Amino acid sequence: MTNIHRDRNRHTSHRAIGAAGLLLLSSLSPNAVQAGALYFPEMSSASEAGYAGAGMVARANDAGTAFSNPAGMTRFDEPQMLAGGTGVYIDAGIRLNEGNTADGKSGSVNKRVVPAGSFAYVRPISDKVAVGVSAHNYFGLAIDWKDDWVGRYSSVSIALLAPQLQPSIAYKVNDWLSVGAGAAITMGYMKEKLRVAPVQPDGRDGKLRISDTAWAVQGNLAMMIEPSDRTRIGIRWLSETDLDFKDSPDLSGPDLPNLPGLGLDGIDLGITMPQTLNIGVHHQWNDNFALLGSVGWEEFSQFGRIQVGVDDTGVGTTLEEDFRDVWSVGFGAEYKLRPDWELTAGFNFDSSMSSDRTRPIVIPLGKMYRYGVGFKHQRPSGRTLNGGLSWIYEGNLGIPENNGVDVTYTNVSIWVASLSVSF
C-alpha cells in the first residue's frame, strides 16, 4: 500500500510540476511586456520610451546611464538625478481556430494599464571616478486572461517580476575610454494562477495558485569609447542570473478528489535571466541633429530550460522549451527644435524567441517592431521634463494545438508611455 500511494503521489507530482513549469514560462512582467523577449528597455529608465531602446548603451545623456551603461557616468561633472513613471498597456485578441475542440471562449487578454517607476542618481567623485545607483524593473511581464477563456487550464494569470537596485561605479581610463561596473540586486517575484479541470464533465473548475520571491545578483560590465568629441560607442554586458523559486501549491475546488493526498509540500522552479550583450553608437551630426544605432543579443535559449523539483518525492526534471536566442537592431535620432526643446525618435526590431510551432499558449511573444517618439523640455529652473511613447507591434501569433486548444493571438500590441524629470 505504501508503494502504491507513493507512486500515485509521484505521478500527480509530475503532472503538477509540468503545469507549474509551463506556467512559469509564460512569465510576462509587472511592467508590461518585452523587449526582444522579456527584457524591457523602456522599463529600465523612464526616458527610454522616446527612443524605443535605440542606441541605449551609447547615449549617456541623463542619469539613466547608471544602469544602461555605467561607464557613461564619467561624462558628468556634477550630480544628476532622473525619476519618472511609466504605464504599459497590452492589447491582444484571441481567435479560436477551426481545429479547436476545447471548451472555453475566445475574446482578448484582460486590458489594463500597468504602472511602474524608475529612479537613477549619478555623482562624480573626482575627474576620473563617478558612482551611481538605479532602481527599476527591467525583466519580466504580467498578463491575465478571462476566467472562462479556452486556455484557462494553462493559465488565467501570471506575473514574473524582477525589480532591481543597482549600485555602480565608473572610472575614466583616459580621454577616450571609460569603464564601469554594477551589481544589480534582484528580487524575483513569481505568481501564477490556473484552472484545474473537474473530474465530472458538469463539475466546477478547481484552482491552482503558486507564488514566491527569490533573490539574485546580476553583473553589469560596460565600456564607453569616445574616438572624437562627436562620437561615442557604448558596450554593455549583463550576466546570466538564476532565480530559484519554491512554494507549496494552493490547490482547491469542490469537484476535485483527494486534494489532501497530492503530497506537494514544495515545488522548486529554477529559471534563468539570460545574459545579454548590447552595442550602441551615438554620433552628433551637427549642433542640432544626432544619429543613433544599436545591436543586441539575448541568450533566451537558456530561459527555456526550467529546473523543476519536488521536495517530498525527490522528483526532479528539466523542462525544455525550444526557445531561441534573440537578436535586435535599432536606429534613432535626436533633433534640437529650439534651445529648450529637443525631439527624439527610434525604431527597434527584435527577433522572436519562439515560432508558431513552438510558442507556448501563455507566451504571446513573436517578432517585435518597436517605434518610439519623445521630447525633452529644458525648464528655466534647470530641470528637464522628458516624455515618450513606444508602440510595440507583434501582429498575429500562431500557437501549436495542444490538448484540443487551437488558437491564434491577433494584432498583439503593447503601448508604453512615460513621463520623467531630470535635474
Determine the 3-state secondary structure of 43 from DSSP. helix
Please give the pLDDT value at position 310.
Answer: 46
Which range is most confident: 42-46, 87-91, 263-267? 87-91
pLDDT tier at 218, thresholds 50, 70, 90? very high
- The pLDDT score that the predictor gives to residue 24 is 37
The span from the CA of 212 to the CA of 192, in Å, is 10
Residue 308 has pLDDT above 60, yes or no: no
* Residue appearing with cell numbers 512554494: 247
The model's confidence at residue 2, banded by pLDDT at 50, 70 and 90, is very low
| Contact of 225 with 240, CB cutoff 8 Å | no
Kindly tell me if the per-residue pLDDT of 14 is higher than 50: no
Residue scoring higher pLDDT (17 or 145):
145
Beta bridge partners of 422: 82, 384
- pLDDT tens readout for residues 152-178: 888 888 888 889 999 999 999 999 999
Mean pLDDT score, 271-275: 86
Percent of the chain at pLDDT above 70? 83
pLDDT class of 257 with cuts at 50, 70, 90:
low
Residues of the domain holding 103: 2-422
Q: What is the pLDDT of residues 94-134, one digit of tens each?
A: 899 888 888 888 888 887 788 888 999 999 999 999 999 99
Mean pLDDT of 40-68: 90
Contact residues for 81 (Cβ-Cβ < 8 A; gap 6+): 63, 119, 120, 121, 122, 422, 423
pLDDT (0 to 100) of residue 132: 97
Name the residue type at position 68: S
Q: What's the pLDDT tens digit per position in 367-391? A: 999 999 999 999 888 899 999 999 9
CATH number, domain of 57, equals 2.40.160.60
Query: Are the CB atoms for 333 and 347 separated by under 8 Å?
Result: no
Residue 245 banded pLDDT, cuts 50, 70, 90: confident
Closest alpha carbon to 422 in 62, 154, 113, 98: 62
At 12 the pLDDT is: 35
First-to-last C-alpha distance (Å) of the chain: 71
Return the pLDDT at 320.
Answer: 55
- In the three-class reduction of DSSP (H, G, I as helix; E, B as strand; rest coil), residue 398 is classed as strand
- Band of residue 265 on the pLDDT scale cut at 50, 70, 90: low
Nearest to 313 by CA among 272, 264, 346, 349: 264
Of residues 28, 14, 92, the one with CA closest to residue 303:
28
pLDDT at 256: 63
Average pLDDT on 33-59 reads 78
Whole-prediction pTM value?
A: 0.83
CB proximity list for 46: less than 8 A, separation 6 or greater: 64, 82, 83, 84, 85, 86, 117, 118, 386, 388, 418, 419, 420
Of residues 15 and 175, more confidence is placed in 175
Instruction: Write down the mean pLDDT value for the chain.
Output: 82
Q: Is the pLDDT reported for residue 348 higher than 90?
A: yes
Q: Please state the domain count of the chain.
A: 1
Q: Which grid coordinates are listed for 177?
A: 575610454
